[in-house]
Structure 1
């Protein structure tokens, strides 16, 4: 039998504190981040997003999209900004939070210029550290579109455990029923995953 998992109060799980790393800063996502996201995005940035993307490639449409994300229940969104320049290069989210079961799902969208850099591992390090070390999560998981080879590779680099595939799990805005590959990290696995992320950041930095 698994031991009972203590956790921070439920309200704390839904806060958006600013989280600072060496290379990135995470802060609550809002409409002020729309212009940078619009300027740096391309068609591939939004093509495989589970909930679709903005209705047009304009700052106004991106602002509306951000508003829609922030209105979703059980979800907390952070902008990913470069620590040096302050430019917004993506967003990372607790895309679903289940306080009663002590878990959170993490989803990430990064602009092309940020991919393959320290941005992804450090953003994940900051959000996973908050989940496990501050909130008391027992589990963090990720659901990846089975067509997204880059994100699948990233999950294996992370050291997450591939649990299986949810077939035709979610209908995309274009009507496509996507398969979602589920990966997870448990609290007892976190120290090793954290060490791996720190090593990757050091190597890329």
Structure 2
């Protein structure tokens, strides 16, 4: 628990690596965004060309309350998506995991489970968090189902919480995991990754 909450370092897993996002990842992000209509359907941003990939990186890196990562396949060195920690509140020992998207090639594989494991280890084991939360569009059933499978608790809906790309207001489903629940979730994630 001696790490700084703002330290943005590489997180190494068995098969993936979370690298602090930088402009050098833009080309890889563009290649990973292999079906933008599907991948970014519920997102406030999207990647369709190299210019929008650079804009994605710039927006993420310039957000002072966000630690964005490129998700990299260790075997190939290929970028397969992105994720972030944001709304870090050291005084309350809480943070949010989100802005997560994956190439369609790696959806429903080990990648999401391993990236969540790495971020949760960072949050609970390194930083001593007591609570991690996630936000998902109320209509984003795949994300909500994935959070339930993870073991997160759905706490309710936040009305008119965020603006969508089209300007409409989104209702956000709020999920959380506490430090008391983390040991069982860790075991479940590790078992899932061994399969």
Pair in the same fold by TM > 0.5? yes
Look up the SS of the partner of 1:156 in the other structure. helix
Kindly state the Cα deviation for residue 60 of structure 1 after the two structures are TM-superposed.
2.5
Q: Paired residue for 1:68?
A: 59
Normalization by structure 1: what TM-score? 0.89
1:152 equivalent in structure 2: 144
Q: Which secondary structure state, in structure 2, belongs to the residue aligned with residue 69 of structure 1?
A: helix
Structure 1 segments, 4+ long, off by >4 Å, are none
Instruction: Give the number of equivalent residue pairs.
Output: 192
TM-score norm. by structure 2 comes to: 0.94
RMSD, aligned α-carbons: 1.3
Residue 46 in structure 1 maps to residue 37 in structure 2 = no
Please state if 1:87 is matched with 2:78.
yes
2:193 corresponds to: 201
Gaps of 5+ in 2: none
The CA deviation string for residues 92-131 of structure 1, in whole angstroms up to 9 with x for no partner, is: 1002211111101001111111101000000000011011
Structure 1: gaps spanning 5 or more residues: 1-6
Give the Å deviation of 1:166: 0.7
* 1:115-158 C-alpha deviation (Å, 9 max, x unpaired): 01000000000011011000111110101111111101100110
Structure 1 counterpart of 2:49, from 49, 55, 58:
58
Residue equivalent to 1:4: none
Distance 2:169 2:95 in 1: 23
